[in-house]
């Protein structure tokens, strides 16, 4: 557990027992604690142990904020509720339904992840509806001496939010950001996800951040970006467009899905400037392929319009949007 800025701590959730893959963040206010994204169900114990090492009990956490509902971010929610029945789960209103019906999140993730990783998910406990509090854009969370502002940034998923800590000018991006693993020299890897990935929304959300006053960019995959907000946006947009063009080219070459993954993987390893043997085996051979598979499925769902609804034909009301998304079977 490392202090990044005053009162902001990075907690490596050690996904599947490996470091530098998924980060949780603790924000310490004068009146309250907030924890952002507890990780996979199996990561909850690790996150709690690291909190306890700093003298913080799970019972002291007032808010558990989810940047979005995917299982690698939300999976540990139920375990925290078992330790602290009064904890408030804050999530964008578009995914509050799924968090209250957590089996849908688990079921969707099982459709995407490979069997050997599904076995390591851990037990995802149910989430009582009364613990879930929906958020909307521009909501603020007062921790006493600091205020967190919610910024709705759809794209990776319809519910993705960024969180701005006014006091420290720190922006928590959720998966609006590209994946940037330290062991891959922070090559920007777009984080697509099927079937609700909306590339246009992702680009609009990223450009919207140009107006945000942020000195520190904190990503879940993994850690501080170490760049200015402008460079973060430019690199992310460039990586998204580059990936789309590569996929189009691979289609023209009639490559099969698995061959596309291997082509993208080789490009990323080459861009990292590191020899394959110098990259941790789990990241290199399993997790990177898994993330690229998920990302490619998201891009294909968008590019081929394989989605539970057509785009661009009708303008629907907010109520229709919520009802439609509840009916749709949501993958990871």
pTM here is: 0.91
Q: Which pLDDT band holds residue 196 (cuts at 50, 70, 90)?
A: confident
Q: What is the pLDDT of residues 7-22, one digit of tens each?
A: 999 999 999 999 999 9
Sequence spans of domains, the chain: 2-238
φ, ψ at 247 (rounded to 5°): -65, -40
Distance between CA atoms of residues 130 and 302, nearest Å: 34
List the beta strands (DSSP E) in 153-300: 161-165, 170-172, 216-219, 223-224
Is the CATH number of domain 2-238 3.60.15.10?
yes
Return the bridge partners of 122, or none.
none
Q: What is the pLDDT of residues 140-160, one digit of tens each?
A: 999 999 999 999 999 999 999
Dihedral over Cα of 211, 213, 219, 220: its sign = negative
| Nearest-5° Cα angle at 310, 307 to 314 | 150
Q: What is the pLDDT of residues 18-40, one digit of tens each?
A: 999 999 999 999 999 999 999 99
- At 332 the pLDDT is 34
Q: What is the pLDDT of residues 63-107, one digit of tens each?
A: 999 999 999 999 999 999 999 999 999 999 999 999 999 999 999
Q: Which residues, other chains included, contact 91 with Cβ-Cβ below 8 Å and sequence gap of 6+?
A: 65, 66, 68, 69, 74, 99, 132, 133, 134, 135, 159
How far is residue 273 from each of residues 185, 241, 267, 270, measured CA to CA in Å? 8, 21, 10, 6
């Amino acid at each position: 557990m490392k202090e990044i800025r005053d009162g902001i701590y990075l907690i490596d959730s050690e996904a599947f027992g490996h470091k530098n893959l998924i980060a949780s963040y603790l924000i310490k206010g004068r009146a309250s604690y907030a924890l952002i994204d507890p990780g996979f169900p199996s990561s909850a114990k690790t996150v709690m142990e690291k909190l306890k090492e700093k003298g913080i009990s799970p019972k002291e956490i007032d808010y558990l904020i989810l940047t979005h509902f995917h299982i690698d971010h939300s999976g540990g929610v139920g375990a925290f509720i078992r330790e602290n029945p009064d904890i408030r789960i804050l999530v964008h209103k578009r995914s509050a339904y799924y968090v209250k019906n957590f089996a849908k999140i688990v079921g969707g993730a099982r459709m995407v992840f490979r069997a050997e990783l599904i076995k390591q998910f851990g037990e995802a406990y149910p989430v009582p509806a009364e613990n879930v509090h929906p958020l909307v854009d521009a909501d603020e969370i007062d921790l006493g001496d600091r205020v967190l502002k919610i910024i709705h940034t759809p794209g990776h998923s319809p519910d993705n939010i960024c969180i701005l800590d006014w006091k420290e000018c720190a922006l928590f991006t959720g998966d609006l950001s590209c994946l940037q693993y330290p062991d891959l020299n922070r090559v920007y890897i777009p984080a697509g996800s099927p079937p609700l990935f909306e590339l246009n929304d992702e680009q609009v959300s990223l450009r919207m951040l140009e107006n945000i006053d942020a000195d520190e960019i904190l990503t879940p995959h993994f850690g501080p970006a170490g760049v200015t907000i402008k460079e973060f946006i430019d690199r992310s947009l460039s990586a998204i467009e580059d990936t789309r063009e590569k996929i189009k080219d691979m289609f023209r070459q009639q490559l099969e899905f698995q061959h596309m993954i291997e082509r993208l993987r080789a490009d990323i390893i080459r861009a990292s400037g590191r020899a394959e043997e110098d990259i941790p085996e789990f990241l290199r051979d399993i997790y990177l392929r898994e993330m690229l598979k998920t990302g490619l499925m998201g891009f294909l769902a968008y590019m081929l319009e394989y989605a539970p609804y057509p785009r661009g034909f009708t303008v629907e009301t907010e109520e229709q949007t919520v009802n439609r998304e509840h009916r749709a079977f949501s993958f990871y």
